């Protein structure tokens, strides 16, 4: 029986290690599989030691110990087991590499040696609560980044899964850890690049909008004034020429209006010259006039923000209204913006067609992706409440310093 258990534990861990090493395994599956295998191995060790009564059993146990140790040390993820007092009783080679502590210096030591001091108290409480749940295994952190502490004193981000096992000697907790320093660094660099790209794009839009408004629109206006003077100076009987000039003046009016509209769509000068509140008021009024949709605005007058927050809020409202115009088929839209403590909260709700969030991604979802990206760059959150046929409500919360700027 002992030999059968040993083979089962070995095969289970081999399968888990294969999943860890496979680049095609599902996200999170390697950790959970390895965790189950490591727990199986630890369960066998405890049961095996209690059941080893004769020489043959001891030899089988020693052989299984050696095989299990070899398999654990070949794992690419750190595998650490602690007892009910949270003292380390198993510590593999990957753990040595990740944390920098050799195995002899970690066995019997408290797990807190590997946890930053600022997280130690919370970790102890979380482990005790997990022990009371009866859950066999789960991922740690609930989506948040966890941190470990290397022997050098350096903190680093990690992913972790944990399992528990009741034995005759008390609870055992096995944790499988993965160093995600490079992944987090890459994500931070990508976020910084995206933020810089947004800033450059806004700067270019501002430059083009101002040139359209100050140069092209004014030049067209001057041409219109000259054409009007020529028309008035022409003889009354030159009807054909006067009609041609009338057409020219009408075309100039249309071109000037289009130039100003394009400039405002790129970036309304109100946002730079007068601030966020007048810009949002203009945006909602212009939306109603252009699309024939009633747009009600509830705006906290104290919501004035510095950059980059003012631009982000304006663009999020603008992109939300564009989505309404393109896809919702709504007759009414409500926009609400308020300052709540250390955050600015905005909502855009319509009575349009709505959609299914779980439906396959369509081209129309690109607007929502851009909206989420703008909020994410400022550590904001986006919540979407929608049901087909019952409209859509988008709620965005962005943390903002008291001064409203990034300093």
Question: Out of 22-26, 230-234, 307-311, 394-398, which region has the weakest mean confidence (pLDDT)?
Answer: 22-26
Euclidean distance between CA atoms 323 and 329, whole angstroms = 10
**Cβ within 8 Å of residue 331, ≥6 positions away:** 293, 294, 351, 352
Q: How far apart are CA 220 and CA 227, in angstroms?
A: 10
Structure-block tokens of residue 177: 């850890």
Q: How sure is the predictor about 236, in pLDDT bands with cuts at 50, 70 and 90?
A: confident
Q: Are 88 and 107 in contact (CB under 8 A)?
A: yes
Give 186-218 pLDDT, tens digit per residue: 877 777 777 777 777 777 777 787 777 777 777
pLDDT attached to residue 56: 58
Instruction: Give me the percent of the chain exceeding a pLDDT of 90.
Output: 17
Model confidence at 107: pLDDT above 60: yes
Residue 42 pLDDT > 60, yes or no? no
Average pLDDT for 121-140 = 74
Fold agreement (2-179, 271-407): no
Cα separation, 342 vs 173, whole angstroms: 39
pLDDT tens for each residue of 282-323: 889 989 988 888 999 998 877 788 888 888 888 899 889 988
In the structure encoding, which two tokens stand for residue 126, read together?
């979380």
Residue 7 pLDDT level (bands cut at 50, 70, 90)? very low
Cβ pair 38, 79 in contact under 8 A: yes
Mean pLDDT computed over every residue of the chain: 77
* pLDDT value of position 365: 63
Confidence check: pLDDT of 381 > 50: yes
Which pLDDT value is given to residue 60? 59
Mean of pLDDT values over 95-106: 93
Cβ–Cβ < 8 Å for 78, 92: yes
Higher pLDDT pick, 193 / 43: 193
Q: What percent of the chain stands above pLDDT 70?
A: 76
Pick the CATH number of 2-179 from 2.40.160.20, 1.10.150.250, 3.40.1190.10, 3.30.450.20: 3.30.450.20
Read off the tokens for 148. 């470990």
Report how far residue 342's alpha carbon sits from residue 393's, in angstroms, rounded to the nearest whole number.
Answer: 22
d(CA 353, CA 30): 41
The pTM assigned to this predicted structure is 0.52
The pLDDT assigned to 51 comes to: 54
Please give the pLDDT value at position 208: 80
Please tell me what DSSP assigns to residue 361: P
Above 60 in pLDDT, residue 156?
yes
Mean pLDDT of 330-348: 90
Contacts of 48 (CB under 8 A, 6+ apart): 2, 5, 6, 57, 60, 61, 64
Which tokens sit at 323?
Answer: 């989505």
pLDDT greater than 90 at residue 101:
yes
Tell the residue number behind the tokens 């043959």, with chain if given.
56
Domain ranges of the chain: 2-179, 186-267, 271-407
Pick the residue with more confidence: 52 or 101?
101
Dist. CA 48–CA 41, nearest whole Å = 10
Band the pLDDT of 6: cuts 50, 70, 90. very low
Q: What pLDDT shows up at residue 183?
A: 86
Nearest-angstrom CA–CA distance, 218 and 302:
34
Least confident piece of the model among 17-21, 43-47, 72-76, 236-240:
17-21
Return the CATH number of 271-407, one of 3.40.50.150, 3.30.300.20, 3.30.565.10, 2.60.40.10: 3.30.565.10
Interstrand relation of 137-139 and 155-167 (parallel, antiparallel or unpaired): antiparallel
């Amino acid at each position: 029986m002992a030999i059968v258990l040993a083979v089962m534990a070995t095969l289970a861990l081999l399968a888990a290690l294969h999943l860890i090493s496979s680049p095609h395994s599902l996200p999170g599956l390697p950790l959970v599989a390895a965790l189950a295998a490591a727990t199986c191995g630890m369960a066998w060790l405890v049961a095996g030691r209690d059941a080893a009564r004769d020489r043959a059993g001891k030899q089988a146990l020693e052989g299984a110990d050696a095989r299990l140790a070899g398999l654990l040390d070949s794992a690419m993820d750190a595998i650490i087991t602690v007892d009910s007092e949270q003292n380390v009783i198993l510590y593999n080679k990957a753990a040595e590499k990740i944390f920098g502590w050799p195995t002899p210096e970690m066995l019997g030591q408290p797990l807190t040696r590997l946890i930053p001091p600022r997280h130690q108290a919370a970790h102890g409480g979380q482990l005790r609560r997990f022990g009371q749940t009866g859950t066999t295994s789960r991922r740690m952190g609930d989506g948040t980044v966890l941190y470990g502490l290397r022997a050098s004193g350096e903190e680093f981000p990690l992913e972790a899964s944990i399992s528990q096992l009741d034995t005759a000697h008390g609870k055992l907790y096995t944790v499988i850890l993965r160093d995600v320093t490079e992944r987090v660094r890459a994500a931070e660099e990508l976020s910084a690049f995206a933020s810089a790209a947004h800033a450059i794009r806004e700067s270019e839009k501002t430059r083009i909008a101002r040139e359209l408004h100050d140069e092209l629109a004014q030049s067209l206006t001057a041409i219109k004034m000259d054409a009007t003077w020529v028309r008035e100076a022409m003889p009354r009987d030159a009807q054909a020429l006067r009609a041609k000039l009338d057409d020219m003046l009408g075309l100039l009016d249309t071109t000037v209006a289009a130039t100003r509209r394009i400039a405002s769509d790129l970036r309304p000068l109100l946002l730079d010259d007068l601030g966020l509140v007048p810009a949002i008021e203009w945006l909602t009024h212009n939306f109603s006039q252009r699309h024939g949709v009633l747009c009600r605005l509830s705006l906290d007058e104290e919501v004035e923000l510095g950059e980059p927050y003012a631009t982000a809020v304006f663009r999020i409202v603008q992109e939300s209204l564009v989505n309404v115009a393109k896809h919702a088929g709504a007759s009414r839209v409500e926009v609400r913006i308020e300052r709540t403590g250390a955050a600015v909260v905005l909502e855009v709700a319509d009575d349009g067609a709505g959609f299914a969030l779980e439906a396959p991604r369509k081209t129309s979802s690109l607007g929502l992706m851009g909206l989420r990206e703008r909020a994410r760059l400022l550590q904001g959150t986006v919540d979407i409440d929608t049901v087909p046929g019952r409209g859509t409500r988008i709620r965005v919360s962005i943390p903002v310093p008291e001064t409203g700027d990034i300093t």
